Amino acid sequence: MTRIVLLGYMGAGKTTVGRELAKKLNLMFYDLDWYIESRFKKKVSQIFAEEGEEGFRKKERNMLHEVAEFEDVIISLGGGTPCFFDNMEYINQQAETIYLKGTPEILYEHLMMAKGKRPLLEGKSPEELKEYIKTSLESREPFYCQAKHIFNIELLGNGDKINKCVEDICTMLNIP
Ligand code: S3P
């Protein structure tokens, strides 16, 4: 049974890489944010707006416990998932965990490329965003670094780079 969980900061490429890794390994792919949105029929940003971050984190934890039971899957977590409750300990018991580690500069570039709705980043100027990434990454890294594997990501600017990243992750995990 294969269960691989990708975690890391917003913009690390968890969803992009997870989707491709699942394709390559012929496994189902689950993105925890998408799973939450489909289960509650609400966007993550709407849950934040209605229930605050605290409400979102409770839902996130409950949904984590659902997806982390699935078998033969690749799962990508939300950027904050490992940093609340006992989520990191739990997910390490359930899965092969990989921290997709990016420098603040790479994360910033990725976030600028794909400006999805991220409630924690909304309304920030580029300078504020850079500063926020640096400081919040520092406080989150002790959680992320509990993952079983750490994989340094580069700028994932195109399909070739994403494929290379997927290949390198397979090599790291000894998957032929
Ligand atoms: C969050 C990251 C988001 C989403 C929510 C909170 C965070 O997921 O779960 O907006 O706290 O870092 P992505 O990392 O997929 O953007």
pLDDT digits (tens, 9 = 90+) for 111-141: 998 767 799 998 899 999 999 999 999 999 9
pLDDT (0 to 100) of residue 60: 98
pLDDT tens digits for range 57-67: 999 999 999 99
- Mean pLDDT for the stretch of residues 99-103: 98
44 CB within 6 A, ligand 1: yes
Q: In what side-by-side order are the strands of the sheet with 28-31? A: 28-31, 73-76, 3-7, 96-101, 149-152
75 has pLDDT over 70: yes
Nearest Cα residue to atom 12 of ligand 1: 79
pLDDT class for 110, splitting at 50, 70, 90? Answer: very high
For the CA atoms of 70, 77, 169, 153, the dihedral, rounded to the nearest 10 degrees, stands at 170
Q: Which pair of structure tokens corresponds to residue 130?
A: 């850079």
d(CA 18, CA 29): 7
- What is the share, in percent, of the chain residues with pLDDT greater than 70? 99
3-state DSSP call for residue 33?
A: helix
- Mean pLDDT for the stretch of residues 32-57: 97
82 CB within 6 A, ligand 1: no
- Mean pLDDT for the stretch of residues 43-59: 97
Nearest Cα residue to atom 4 of ligand 1: 78
172 has pLDDT over 90: yes
pTM for this structure? 0.97
120 CB within 6 A, ligand 1: yes
- Mean pLDDT for the stretch of residues 58-81: 98
pLDDT (0 to 100) of residue 114: 77
